[in-house]
């Protein structure tokens, strides 16, 4: 049995929905389908979810949101008409949603209606059963999934029907509608796959899998054929986002493989995310990165022997809402790297550390990029880190930071932002 999830671009209009229909029809094992809200039809288009957030923002500011809601209405009515489903019912549901938003329902409720309507339409069109996740998927305040959700969903998913389920939302503990973070339909798909102990979780999107590097930087990077859950999370945490990183947790323990596939090119083999893979032939799966880091460098004699000093620096950073993503401690100094957007009060922070902790030296350096080279084979193969550092030095790039060992499957290299593209291209060429 296969659980399928289709992303917004796979449901953006009728011609995309017909592709979904063909994919589902081609394999009777595809019995449970999770849908996102319709996404962009072209680059200037707006996603339904964004339109619904706008409706809520206008309504809660006391403004008229009828123009924004009419744009949502138009898209669904168009899809409904083209698919030949019961239009008056759809129109009544849209009226009801508009009324509920006008009465002050939450942003989560407004946004969730994108998936709700999409699943309703698709279920009617395909003659499948619509299964709402309200009251079945319980989302804790911190966004995590309450394990009771698996039992609740599994009871409903037994039987022989084909189900269409809206992604992205469930209920909070108090029963109100609650969404996951953006892109959260991937999480709903993972919960459903776990709940019905699926053999496979197919995640249908508009790319033919996860690429070994960012195609905006590297020319035609290869597609990753197989990647482990852990590698996929590491790659996503430092840039490459095809699959929501929180969607791994529900299925990792059950070891259900995820298959990333392209709705527009179903014949492409895609990427499989699995528990284990053979890392001998392909020790490294990919390279990804992000710009926009700031380094805070603090020097104090015997710093390493004084853990309180480090705790105090981190406490000051926490007070200013700064959570370092990377750090490295030397004998007499420490470097902490965090997203530059967090460093709004940089001067104040530096002054506070200076006055409260009296370091020997303190400086900060913005415009750092971090690059992660990820692969389960990194630990056991010899010479990969040498190859990577040779590649960047031959490309004329200076490494500002290197960290291997925090995670045994990722080597992180910091470079100046101006060298980011050159370094990434050079590393890709060395490992691909
Ligand atoms: N529609 C939601 C979003 O745009 C959730 C999803 O597509 O997964 O973030």
Question: For the segment 392-422, what is each residue's pLDDT rounded down to a tens digit?
Answer: 999 999 999 999 988 899 999 999 999 999 9
What confidence tier does 279 reach under pLDDT thresholds 50, 70, 90? confident
Looking at the CA of residue 182, tell me the nearest atom of ligand 1. Answer: 9
* Ligand 1 contacts CB of residue 36 (under 6 A): yes
* Ligand 1 contacts CB of residue 377 (under 6 A): no
DSSP string, 200-265: EEEEEESSSS-BSS-TTTSSSPPBPSEEEHHHHHHHHHTT--SS-GGGSHHHHTTT--EEEEETT-
Number of domains in the chain: 2
What confidence tier does 292 reach under pLDDT thresholds 50, 70, 90? very high
Q: Which of 156, 182, 206 is the last residue of a domain?
A: 206
Q: Is 174 found in the same domain as 31?
A: yes
CA-nearest residue for atom 5, ligand 1, is 183
pLDDT, averaged across the chain? 95
Asked if residue 226 is part of any domain, the answer here is no
Asked if residue 408 is part of any domain, the answer here is yes
Q: What percent of the chain has pLDDT over 70?
A: 100
Looking at the CA of residue 115, tell me the nearest atom of ligand 1. Answer: 1
CATH classification of the domain holding 335: 3.30.2130.10
Q: Which of 191, 206, 221 is the last residue of a domain?
A: 206
* Ligand 1 contacts CB of residue 168 (under 6 A): yes
CA gap 285, 235 in Å, rounded: 9
Asked if residue 216 is part of any domain, the answer here is no
In this prediction, residue 83 carries a pLDDT of 97
Looking at the CA of residue 36, tell me the nearest atom of ligand 1. Answer: 7
* Ligand 1 contacts CB of residue 189 (under 6 A): no
- Degrees (nearest 5) of the Cα angle 167, 173, 178? 30
Residue 409 has a CB neighbour count (10 Å cut-off) of: 23
Beta-bridge partner residues of 326:
337
Q: Is 299 found in the same domain as 199?
A: no
Question: Looking at the predicted structure, is the pLDDT value of residue 243 above 90?
Answer: no
Q: Is 301 found in the same domain as 190?
A: no
- Using the structure block, give the residue that is written with the tokens 């015997």: 302
In this prediction, residue 237 carries a pLDDT of 78
Asked if residue 363 is part of any domain, the answer here is yes
* Ligand 1 contacts CB of residue 185 (under 6 A): yes
Question: Looking at the predicted structure, is the pLDDT value of residue 242 above 80?
Answer: no
CA gap 148, 153 in Å, rounded: 9
What confidence tier does 299 reach under pLDDT thresholds 50, 70, 90? very high
pLDDT tens for each residue of 300-315: 999 988 889 999 999 9
pTM: 0.88
Taking the centre of ligand 1 as the mean of its atom positions, its distance from the CA of residue 36, in whole angstroms, is: 6
Taking the centre of ligand 1 as the mean of its atom positions, its distance from the CA of residue 1, in whole angstroms, is: 25
Structure tokens at 92: 């009544």
Q: Is 121 found in the same domain as 26?
A: yes
Structure tokens at 428: 């890709």
Q: Which of 206, 221, 245 is the last residue of a domain?
A: 206
At 31, phi and psi to the nearest 5? -100, -25
Q: Provide CB contacts within 8 A for 29, sequence distance 6+.
A: 1, 2, 199
Q: Which residue of 115, 165, 187 sits with most ligand 1 atoms within 8 Å of its CB, as the best mutation to test the pocket? A: 115
The bridge status of strand 129-130 relative to strand 169-171 is unpaired
Asked if residue 25 is part of any domain, the answer here is yes
What confidence tier does 345 reach under pLDDT thresholds 50, 70, 90? confident
Q: Is 297 found in the same domain as 403?
A: yes
Q: Which residue of 4, 7, 8, 33 sits with most ligand 1 atoms within 8 Å of its CB, as the best mutation to test the pocket? A: 8
Mean pLDDT in residue range 188-199: 97
DSSP string, 56-120: HHHHHTT---HHHHHHHHHHHHHHHHHHT--HHHHHHHHHHHHHHHHTT--HHHHHHHHHHHHHH
pLDDT tens for each residue of 50-105: 999 999 999 999 999 999 999 999 999 999 999 999 899 999 999 999 999 999 99
Q: Select from 53, 255, 273, 71 the least CA-distant residue to 168.
A: 53
In this prediction, residue 253 carries a pLDDT of 87
Range of the domain at 69: 2-206
CATH classification of the domain holding 93: 3.40.1160.10
Mean pLDDT in residue range 40-58: 97
Question: Looking at the predicted structure, is the pLDDT value of residue 240 above 70?
Answer: no
* Ligand 1 contacts CB of residue 183 (under 6 A): yes
Q: Is 150 found in the same domain as 28?
A: yes
Could you give the 3-state DSSP secondary structure of residue 295? strand
In this prediction, residue 87 carries a pLDDT of 92
In this prediction, residue 268 carries a pLDDT of 96
CA-nearest residue for atom 6, ligand 1, is 183
């Amino acid at each position: 049995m296969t659980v399928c999830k289709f992303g917004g671009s796979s449901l953006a209009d009728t011609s995309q929905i017909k592709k979904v229909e063909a994919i589902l029809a081609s394999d009777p094992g595809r019995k449970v389908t999770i849908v996102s809200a319709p996404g962009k039809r072209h680059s200037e288009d707006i996603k339904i979810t964004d339109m619904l957030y706008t409706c809520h923002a206008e309504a809660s500011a006391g403004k008229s949101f009828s123009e924004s809601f009419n744009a949502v209405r138009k898209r669904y009515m168009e899809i409904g008409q083209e698919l030949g489903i019961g239009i008056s019912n759809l129109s009544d549901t849209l009226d009801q949603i508009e009324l509920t938003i006008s009465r002050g329902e939450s942003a989560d409720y407004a946004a969730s209606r994108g998936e709700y309507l999409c699943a309703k339409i698709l279920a009617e069109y395909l003659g499948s059963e619509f299964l709402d996740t309200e009251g079945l998927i319980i989302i804790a305040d911190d966004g995590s999934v309450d394990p009771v959700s698996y039992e609740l969903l599994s009871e409903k998913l037994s039987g022989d029907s084909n189900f269409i389920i809206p992604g992205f939302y469930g209920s909070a503990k108090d029963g109100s509608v609650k969404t996951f973070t953006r892109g959260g339909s991937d999480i709903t798909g993972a919960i459903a796959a776990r709940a019905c102990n699926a053999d496979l979780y197919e995640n249908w999107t508009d790319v033919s899998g996860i690429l070994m590097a960012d195609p905006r930087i590297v020319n035609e990077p290869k597609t990753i054929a197989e990647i482990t859950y852990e590698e996929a999370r590491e790659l996503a945490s430092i840039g490459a986002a095809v699959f929501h990183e929180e969607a791994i947790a529900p299925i990792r323990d059950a070891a259900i493989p995820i298959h990333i596939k392209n709705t527009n090119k179903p014949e492409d083999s895609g990427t499989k995310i699995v528990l284990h893979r053979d890392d001998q032939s392909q020790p490294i799966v990919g390279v990804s990165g992000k710009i926009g880091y700031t380094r805070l460098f603090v020097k104090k004699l015997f710093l390493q022997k004084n853990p309180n000093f480090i705790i105090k620096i981190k406490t000051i950073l926490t007070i200013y809402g700064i959570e370092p993503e990377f750090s490295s401690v030397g004998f007499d100094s420490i470097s902490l790297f965090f997203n530059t957007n967090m460093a709004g009060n940089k001067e104040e922070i530096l002054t506070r550390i200076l006055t409260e902790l009296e370091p020997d030296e303190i400086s900060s350096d913005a415009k750092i990029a971090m690059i992660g080279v990820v692969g389960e084979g990194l630990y056991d193969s010899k010479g990969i880190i040498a190859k990577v550092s040779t590649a960047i030095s031959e490309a004329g790039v200076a490494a500002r930071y290197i960290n291997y060992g925090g995670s045994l499957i990722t080597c992180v290299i910091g470079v100046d932002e101006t060298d980011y593209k050159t370094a990434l291209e050079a590393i890709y060429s060395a490992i691909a």
